[in-house]
Structure 1
Amino acid sequence: MRYALVTGGDRGIGKAIAIKLSSQNIFTIISYRKREEEAISTLNYIKSKNGKGDMIKADISNKEDVEKMANYIKEKYGGIDILINNAGVGFTSKFTDLSYDSFVKQIQTNLIGSFYVTRLLIDNMINKKWGRIIFMSSIAGIFGAEYLTAYSSAKAGLIGLAKSLAIELAKHNITVNVVAPGFVETKLGKSYFEWLDSIGYKESEKMYLSSIPSNRLATEEEVASLVSFLVSEDASGITGQVIGVDAGASLTPGSVFKKYS
């Protein structure tokens, strides 16, 4: 049996990924920062479907938390074979209002946290000569996103990290890829459009959808299905790639993040 860790696996895209992996006979560990009830609910659902898993509380922006999580996983399970770096934060703000602390927090969680989780859990994959690492970036990390400067910067950094790491780990039969969703039907995605509307934009989600060829948002399940494929044996020849799940938003990058007013 393979062992996987999905950071931020308690809800949203992380939850969908954890459920998908566990359905494929992968022992799935989910980490969460503060939503213990949601983590318990996700784990109970996995077990109700005859999946196997565990959960651990860890703020990946906190160095000590990451170290404790890595030690727990190594001591109890010997390590992991599959790592999904999904946990992240995004705070909407005009650049002129963006504080130093907010910028650092988003870089620390999305980029540095993902680096450190990977750094501490890579040994088992190297020793086994097999592994799968996925970094969850965003369309915002490729094209940028209005009022998401810090988030976009961190997500762009993950792409550079993944591509460099893919080169270094290829000789160990470890693939490293990036999944870059567009706005997805999650609370985070909805909150972005709500914030745009609150500062005077008109029907921002409707206007965003009108710029997408398929006129819809991608779903959590679609993202999870791609991740499931990338960690399988069938995807052993895919590494160092950035793959979007955006319902076609990246086909019209000039208009995706336009002003809506």
Structure 2
Amino acid sequence: MASLKTVLVTGASKGIGQATADLLAHEGYNVIINFNKSEKEALSLYNKLKNKGLSVRIYKANVSKKNEVKDMIDFCIKEFGTIDILINNAGISQEKLFVDITDEDWDNMINTNLKSVFYCTQEVLKHMISKKRGKIINISSIWGMIGASCEAHYSAAKAGVIGLTKALAKEMGPSNIQINCITPGVIQTGMLDSYNQNELNVLRENTPLMKLGSPKDIANCVLFLVSNRADFITGQVISPNGGFVV
């Protein structure tokens, strides 16, 4: 049985999830690459890492579906015998006036960005609690901290992730399980595809470091939190945002 620590990264086919899975695999972790729709990108990442001799697996699951999450966690245990770290990264975004948000828009946002964290965390904790160890990193957003105009449902879901992190950190602390939250600032991922150059320039100008973040910036933060250097950190909201929120 592999002795390396095992990490599950949800939504690992693109952006922050991809950078995180890539970095952790190179750092010697067993990594399960979860994807739902972006099979081409997920397979590309898997093949790249596998060809380097790194310990990776790939698994398709809609993390807003409880039965698919359970099957995925069972797969992780079957493959590696344990699951030590969960990175709840899967998420979607949408810009829309609040009065135009439909029931479907709201449910899709909450299910993908918040309910998925509930399902994945609950299933993983069944294994972590008995072992008295584990780490969970939830990827939220600065908009969950301060809100974003025309992204009320996104902001609400991401704020829910922050609240869940803090509550669970208190509940799981006696079981030696650390649960933290990362709230990225404006990061250069596909979620910015709808922004024009002028809008991106405004975001840069409103960031004290005068630049947008990269997925690797967030992955580096994840790497620290999952390491033994962060064993006394739990219930915290850490925001790599270039000073956008201070």
8 A contact 1:78–1:124 mirrored in 2: no
Q: Which moved more, 1:133-142 or 1:114-123?
A: 114-123
1:235 aligns with 2:225: no
- 1:211 pairs, out of 206, 210, 220, with 206
1:79-94 matched pairs, under 5 angstroms: 79-94=82-97
Q: 122-131 or 156-165: which moved more?
A: 122-131
CA contact (8 A) 2:64 2:119 kept: no
TM-score for the superposition, normalised by structure 2? 0.95
Across the aligned residues of Structure 1 and Structure 2, the Cα RMSD in angstroms comes to: 1.3
Count of paired positions: 243
Task: Show the counterpart of 1:52.
Answer: 55
Between the aligned partners of 1:158 and 1:234, the Cα distance in structure 2 is 24
How far residue 2 of structure 1 moved from its aligned partner, in angstroms, is: 0.5
* Letter matched to residue 204 of structure 1: E
Partners of 1:42 and 1:51 in 2: CA distance = 11
Could you tell me how far apart the structure 1 residues matched to 2:67 and 2:216 are? 32
Matched, 1:19 2:14: no
1:122 partner SS: helix
Q: 1: distance between equivalents of 2:204 and 2:220?
A: 22
Structure 1 window deviating more from structure 2 (206-215 vs 63-72): it is 63-72
The 5 A counterparts of 1:1-261 are 1-191=4-194, 193-194=195-196, 203-251=198-246
Letter in structure 2 aligned against 1:22: A
Q: What amino acid sits opposite 1:70 in the alignment?
A: I
Q: Deviations over 1:91-125 (max 9, x none)?
A: 11111211111011100111111111110111222
What letter corresponds to residue 96 of structure 2 in structure 1?
S
Find runs of 4+ consecutive structure 1 residues off by over 3 angstroms: none
* Conserved? CA contact 1:79–1:121, under 8 Å: no
For structure 1, the 5+ residue unaligned runs are 198-202, 252-261
Secondary structure of residue in 2 paired with 1:245: coil
SS at match of 2:86: strand
Report deviation, 1:207: 1.5
Counterpart contact for 1:90–1:151, Cα < 8 Å: yes
Kindly provide the amino acid, as one letter, of the partner of residue 69 in structure 1. Answer: M
Mapped to 2, the partners of 1:77 and 1:47 lie a distance apart of 16
* Contact persistence 2:35–2:59 (CA under 8 A): yes
> Among the aligned pairs, what percent are the same residue?
39
Unaligned runs of 5+ in 2: none
Deviation at 1:63, TM superposition (A): 2.2
Cα separation, 2, equivalents of 1:182 and 1:49: 31
Shift of 1:146: 1.2
Q: Distance in 1 between matches of 2:48 and 2:229?
A: 27
Residue 44 (structure 1) shift: 1.5
